[in-house]
Structure 1
């Protein structure tokens, strides 16, 4: 029976205290993301029991409701039922609710959650572009001269596929400036203008020249290439959002048309180029050194830890912010030998465990849901239904998955597998293409991860068969 998305939206809004309790609503690839006016009004028990809700995750900054691949349809109905503006941050009764809001206590946890929320909120909207770029790159890698040899290096389709992927990552800061501005309720044009200067070819010429450059003849500007940057752009945009608010407060009304944009840009350029960018670059260099140290010192232990605990990062929504944060580091190094291989091993082990569950679960209803989750994973590359509906509920599935992930990660490390393609390839079973010249080693590790978790599930099973019931 087809899901009634309108009724699902009605049920969700009713459980969270009505549309008047919603300050902001957005969605990512599988989750509705609510910022509530009053978390105490949310009926968590009622919300978790709604048919169509896979899982509810409550953080200090967001109420995340996992829906799955149909999240965009549910989001559309939520906006219609709640009278929210689609695709834009929703501010409901800001003035009226301000008195009812209590100032949240600043703790290390709230700060960490705030950073994760800011990064994920800025990056999730651009994932479709990254996925599309990955598909074009996948075609070039698979059919290119180093693999099947269908394309030669001067083939125009081969050149174009590589161009699409390169262009998306080159202009990634420009996309992030827009989405981060939306996240921080700022005017996108100002951050986009700053980024346009940061990645302009003339700026790259200044950087490549290697000579001291003083911004406005006063501030020393560090010579940093910001193409493909992520975190420097998010931080700069956040600072620019406060600069915009400050400028709009101090500029008289009769000077606003000219004064506001000019003063914002005058302040934004040194903030981004002389403070935010260099600070983030220093952190990125530290991360590079840490990753190299982990690879040299911890080695196999590091990749096994990532593989075994990757699903828990997914559960807390931290996997994508982590990947996007490390993206510039990997691009600088040219490869990733720890996080991406570990994540891929975890994904294939998860597929194997879910397939064994679909075949061997001790209940007909469970097996049916197992097949649904398995098909969703291999056809749409969406693992949340399996993760929240099966793996975190059935402890044996989790145990088999972790064992398979660890074995696959060990094999990848021993064979020297390294990920060199940092965008997705659309399907979990095509992830071997992300290993580039190390594709064979990556594929063997993937097969080991899948087979180990699948065989464990088939041999050890999931308990004695029980008769299905309506409950």
Structure 2
């Protein structure tokens, strides 16, 4: 029996058969049943159905949490039970309004970011695999293809096709998450990457918007915060225009007016926001590093991947490159970034050993291989960190410990090179001791992160339910 039909058959059997169901529908993640008698249903048995993430009683309905696969299961239930299929309903119709607190606001923000980013994982995995093959076949390892060969160029730009245009993809998933116009969401990303705007970088500092406002000209490729913030604001703007523009004119004027408002908001507020915040944080960390010694290096090791994900890291990179060009070595960012990278890879390894679901274990070991061989950590950051949250704590602990060790022993790099296991080649010029301590720092970060991920968990049934429900619109617009 096909998987979805098996789930449907088990559900029908355990809820008392089709005779006990008066109505059945579904939303984005849940199968929603109106039962004549809920008392005859054993919740624990329903939870144990393979493919079911949990159950909930809400709004007079018996709700079975399936996840993204729910439309197929719903179709199978209707076909098996002879029910008429209905259109999917709004996910949050029966959710009570939460009182706004710092905790709920923080949770909503994390759910918005997580729900937007985890949708990108399939494309991210595919792109990362091309990068991994590139590294293995390229000059850095087997040297089977040269950097000027068509094979190398192809593998390289397929990888870039995803990560360069990340703001565009993120604009789509963020808008979808909030129920806003997905095409306008994508435009929030394309405006930042359009060639005419990118070409201005380096030639002028500001661009005048509508002849009144000045927008800073900068490179926003692979950035995250600007688009996430812009799409969130865009949702409210679009909703406002839908209320005041007559229906007969809405098709033309709602998107036009929305875009007209969002262009200056995006270019003058949202896009510079990440840059300004990043400069402030990174300059503070540099100042801290000037007198914090190895402790400052450890702090960078704990925070580095978060700075990279939010696009706040360029100032630190420029600081490291300047130091390296002036002195021939760099002992602040390099050991910290190495530890952070291996802590992220360790997070994938810890998840692999902790997870019970075979598909999730396969994904995690794929993230590990992609990181250790291809130097791509985005997969584990979005696929494990953002999805389950607790592993991020483990990654920070691992990065801190590994960077602390490297900082204590004064590890330094003589050049900035690969981001995979060959990153240690940058430590060779410092001698055997420098290389050995650099490797130990990286391994410490990996092992501590893996162990901490295993201990902290976050992959249990409750967390899987939370992950499925994060696909719901949580920032109502």
TM-score range, shorter chain: 0.5 to 0.7
SS in 2 for 1:24: coil
Listed as ranges, the matches of 1:24-423 within 5 Å are 24-25=28-29, 46=44, 50=48, 52=50, 75=70, 77-80=72-75, 92=89, 98=93, 101-289=95-283, 292=286, 297=292, 298-299=295-296, 301-302=298-299, 326=309, 328-330=311-313, 333=316, 336-348=337-349, 378=365
For 2:27 and 2:249, the matched residues in 1 are separated by 32
Whether the 8 Å contact between 1:349 and 1:405 is mirrored in structure 2 is no
Give the RMSD, CA atoms, in angstroms. Answer: 5.3
The 8 Å contact of residues 138 and 147 in structure 2, kept in 1 or not, is answered as: yes
| Deviation digits for residues 273-298 of structure 1 (CA, Å, limit 9, x no counterpart) | 11222223222333434565676632
Q: 1:159–1:333: structure 2 CA closer, same or farther, 3 Å change rule?
A: farther
Is the CA contact 2:53–2:65 (under 8 Å) kept in the aligned structure 1?
Answer: yes
Provide the residue aligned with 2:432 in structure 1. Answer: none
Distance 2:358 2:281 in 1: 40
Instruction: Tell whether 2:421 aligns with 1:432.
Output: yes
Tell me, yes or no, if the aligned pair for 2:25 and 2:74 is still in contact at 8 Å: no
Gaps of 5+ in 2: 16-20, 57-63, 79-86, 318-333, 369-378, 385-394, 429-434, 452-477
Question: Does the 8 Å contact 2:192/2:220 carry over to 1?
Answer: yes
TM-score of the superposed pair, with normalisation by structure 1: 0.60
Q: How many residues align?
A: 372
Contact 2:171 2:228 in 1 (8 A): yes
Structure 1 contact 295–338 (Cα < 8 Å) conserved: no
Cα distance in 2, alignment partners of residues 437 and 214 from structure 1: 43
Which fold has the larger relative contact order, with Cα–Cα distance below 8 Å and residues 6 or more apart in sequence? 2
SS at match of 2:309: helix
How far the C-alpha of 1:371 sits from its partner, in A, is 11
Specify the alignment match of 1:461 in structure 2: none
- 1:214 counterpart SS class: strand
Name the stretch that deviates more: 324-333 or 198-207.
Answer: 324-333
For structure 1, the 5+ residue unaligned runs are 26-33, 59-64, 84-89, 308-321, 356-368, 388-400, 423-430, 456-471
Q: Deviations over 1:378-401 (max 9, x none)?
A: 468599xxx9xxxxxxxxxxxxx9
> What displacement does 1:190 show?
1.4
Change (3 A) 1:454 1:224: closer
2: CA distance between counterparts of 1:202 and 1:406? 41
Distance (Å, rounded) in 1 between the aligned partners of 2:49 and 2:280: 46
1:260 CA drift (Å): 2.0
| 1-structure distance, mates of 2:169, 2:303 | 29
1:406-429: CA deviation from partner (whole Å, max 9, x where unpaired): 87666666555899777xxxxxxx
C-alpha displacement at 1:171, in angstroms? 0.9
Aligned to 1:87: none
CA contact (8 A) 1:176 1:234 kept: yes
Does the 8 Å contact 1:125/1:179 carry over to 2? yes
- Decide whether the 8 Å contact of 2:138 with 2:152 is kept in 1: yes
Q: Does the aligned pair in 2 maintain the 1:134–1:165 contact within 8 Å?
A: yes
Contact 1:302 1:338 in 2 (8 A): no
